[in-house]
């Protein structure tokens, strides 16, 4: 099977698996990360586009958030899925490494990618957690987990371990300080950093308006 046929088959598989998902990790999230990855890779140049596209498509095949925090399920499922295709070992391992390494695991936890292709996909995934889409996804996920919107008595935490980060049940607004506002400085590519600035500014403006509205005073 040629590369474009593998990509098309994977697209159809993911549409079937993730359409209608309501936590912000649906097919359209995957599609945005896929499109962003291709766009960033084209601007950055000199990388394996097949690895970029497949890594982007499969990056959330089994997100740890939906498997009791187990970050080993994603790479296993990715390998199982990819085994049906004839992909040379080096490229296959690069794709699986993207799935294994991509996730944010706490503000104080380094999450370095082992390939340029991985850096591109990680940037795309993080950009989709920022800006207007990021705000919408954050509240969709918080609502799905029964979290309060905001509690001024619960202060944000800089998690220094993945174990602490994945156990957090903090209000949704805290997630901006525990992850989203830190993403701008953790982007890998020049292209991602430029786009990240725009999305970061949107989130800062959103929070400014949120606190003003929270105070319930007409100024």
Q: What is the mean pLDDT of residues 177-182?
A: 95
Radius of gyration of the CA atoms of the chain, in A: 18
The pLDDT tens digits of the residues spanning 150-175 come to 999 999 988 877 777 777 889 999 99
The pLDDT tens digits of the residues spanning 100-121 come to 999 887 777 788 899 999 999 9
Query: What local confidence, expressed as pLDDT, does residue 69 receive?
Result: 46
| Contact predicate 121/33, CB 8 Å | yes
Nearest CA among 143, 131, 118, 147 for reference residue 207: 131
Q: Is the dihedral of CA 195, 19, 111, 138 positive or negative?
A: positive
Q: For tokens 């699986």, what's the residue?
A: 96
CATH for 3-214 is 1.10.3210.50
Instruction: Show me where the domains of the chain are located.
Output: 3-214
Q: What is the mean pLDDT of residues 88-103?
A: 94
- The residues near 156 (Cβ < 8 Å, ≥ 6 apart) are 170, 174, 177, 178
Q: What is the pTM of this model?
A: 0.92
Angle at 128 between CA 66 and CA 14, to 5 degrees: 55
- The residues near 205 (Cβ < 8 Å, ≥ 6 apart) are none
Residue 55 CB-density burial (10 A; 0-12 exposed, 13-18 middle, 19+ buried): buried
């Amino acid at each position: 099977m040629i590369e474009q046929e593998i990509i098309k088959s994977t697209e159809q598989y993911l549409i079937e698996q993730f359409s209608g998902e309501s936590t912000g990790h649906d097919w359209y999230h995957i599609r945005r990360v896929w499109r962003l990855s291709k766009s960033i890779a084209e601007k950055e140049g000199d990388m394996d586009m097949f690895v970029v596209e497949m890594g982007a498509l499969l990056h959330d095949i089994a997100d740890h958030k939906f498997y009791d925090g187990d970050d080993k399920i994603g790479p296993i499922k990715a390998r199982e899925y990819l085994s049906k295709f004839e992909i040379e070992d080096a490229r296959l391992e690069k794709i699986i490494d993207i799935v294994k390494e991509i996730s944010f695991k706490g503000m104080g936890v380094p999450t370095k990618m082992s390939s340029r292709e991985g850096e591109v996909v990680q940037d795309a995934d993080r950009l989709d957690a920022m800006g207007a889409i990021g705000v919408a996804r954050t509240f969709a996920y918080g609502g799905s987990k029964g979290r309060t919107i905001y509690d001024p008595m619960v202060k944000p935490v800089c998690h220094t371990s993945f174990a602490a980060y994945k156990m957090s049940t903090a209000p949704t607004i805290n997630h901006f300080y525990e992850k989203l506002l830190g993403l701008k400085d953790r982007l890998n590519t020049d292209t991602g950093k430029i786009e990240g600035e725009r999305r970061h500014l949107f989130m800062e403006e959103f929070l400014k308006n949120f606190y003003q509205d929270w105070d319930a005073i007409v100024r």
